[in-house]
């Protein structure tokens, strides 16, 4: 087989490996949990803003975070916490129960309520990243927050980079397979010395 044809087949195999992997992965849903968590933080943000408009102030920051931690510690099987017959307490508990039932359980740690100038409303919610630590109140590279839609980019970029490495690795394996096959075929076509015709000696 001509070298040019082998090279073209190798390039085609490389591309086929990439396209095949992308087609295979298109049947799976991945990375959406981060997007859903960011949307859930947005809903929690909106509910808290509605609370402040109805009651004239935001919830107490430490008290609200304490209630969030306590609800998370009780777990999914726990019934909603009963509160006093008070409109403010009921509204606050309604927000917390809504947050608990939403898509905020990426790492089983509760969202944090924070006052921040980074948010147009002056407050917001964030989830600590995978490391369980936030050094900037929701603005670490791996944190997800309610005021910045791009706060999930870290996870989407990481996932995309992993897929790029995998698809190119598959393409390279296929291309190498074509090369090894053509090399072995070419080697097998070479006649052995024992099979070569013995040249006749010139007669006297």
pLDDT for the residue 144:
96
Of the candidates 64, 177, 183, the residue with the CA atom closest to the CA atom of residue 114: 64
- pLDDT for 85 beyond 70: no
| Angstrom distance (rounded) from CA 144 to CA 114 | 13
- pLDDT for 124 beyond 90: yes
Of the candidates 134, 59, 56, 53, the residue with the CA atom closest to the CA atom of residue 96: 59
> Does residue 196 sit within a domain?
no
Number of domains in the chain: 2
- pLDDT for 127 beyond 80: yes
| Angstrom distance (rounded) from CA 120 to CA 56 | 18
> Does residue 108 sit within a domain?
yes
Greater confidence (92 vs 78) lies with 92
The reply to whether 176 and 118 lie within a common domain is no
> Does residue 198 sit within a domain?
no
The reply to whether 134 and 162 lie within a common domain is no
Distances (CA, A) of 109 to 68, 96, 112, 158, 164: 10, 14, 9, 22, 31
In this prediction the pTM is 0.68
The reply to whether 177 and 103 lie within a common domain is no
> Does residue 194 sit within a domain?
no
Band of the pLDDT at 79, cuts 50, 70, 90? Answer: confident
| Angstrom distance (rounded) from CA 113 to CA 66 | 10
Band of the pLDDT at 87, cuts 50, 70, 90? Answer: confident
Residue ranges making up the domain that contains 21: 3-28+158-189
pLDDT tens-digit map of 147-203: 999 999 998 887 776 666 776 777 777 767 776 777 676 667 656 555 555 555 555
What element of type H or E holds 145? Answer: strand 144-145
pLDDT for the residue 80:
72
The reply to whether 59 and 9 lie within a common domain is no
The reply to whether 17 and 81 lie within a common domain is no
> Does residue 84 sit within a domain?
yes
Write b or e for each residue in 28-53: b if 16 or more Cβ atoms lie within 10 A of its Cβ, otherwise e: eeeeeebeebbebbbbbbebbeebee
Q: Is 124 strand, coil or helix?
A: strand
pLDDT tens-digit map of 16-75: 666 675 565 554 445 688 999 999 999 999 999 999 999 999 999 999 999 999 999 998
The reply to whether 139 and 78 lie within a common domain is yes
pLDDT for the residue 116:
95
> Does residue 200 sit within a domain?
no
């Amino acid at each position: 087989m001509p070298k040019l044809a082998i090279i073209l087949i190798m390039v085609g195999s490389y591309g086929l490996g990439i396209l095949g992997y992308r087609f295979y992965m298109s049947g799976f849903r991945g990375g959406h949990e981060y997007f859903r968590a960011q949307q859930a933080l947005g809903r929690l943000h909106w509910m808290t803003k509605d609370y402040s408009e109805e009651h004239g102030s935001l919830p107490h920051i430490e008290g609200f975070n304490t209630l969030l931690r306590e609800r998370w510690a009780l777990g999914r099987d726990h019934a909603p916490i009963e509160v006093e017959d008070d409109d403010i307490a009921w509204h606050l508990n309604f927000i917390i129960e809504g947050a608990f039932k939403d898509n905020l359980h990426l790492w089983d740690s509760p969202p944090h309520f924070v006052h921040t100038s980074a948010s147009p409303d002056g407050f917001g919610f964030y989830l600590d990243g995978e490391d369980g630590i936030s050094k900037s109140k929701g603005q670490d590279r791996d944190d997800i927050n309610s005021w910045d839609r791009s706060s999930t980019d870290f996870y989407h970029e990481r996932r995309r980079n992993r897929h790029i490495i995998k698809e190119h690795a598959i393409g390279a394996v296929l291309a190498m397979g074509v090369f090894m096959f053509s090399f072995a075929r070419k080697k097998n076509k070479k006649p052995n010395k024992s099979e070569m015709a013995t040249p006749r000696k010139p007669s006297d």
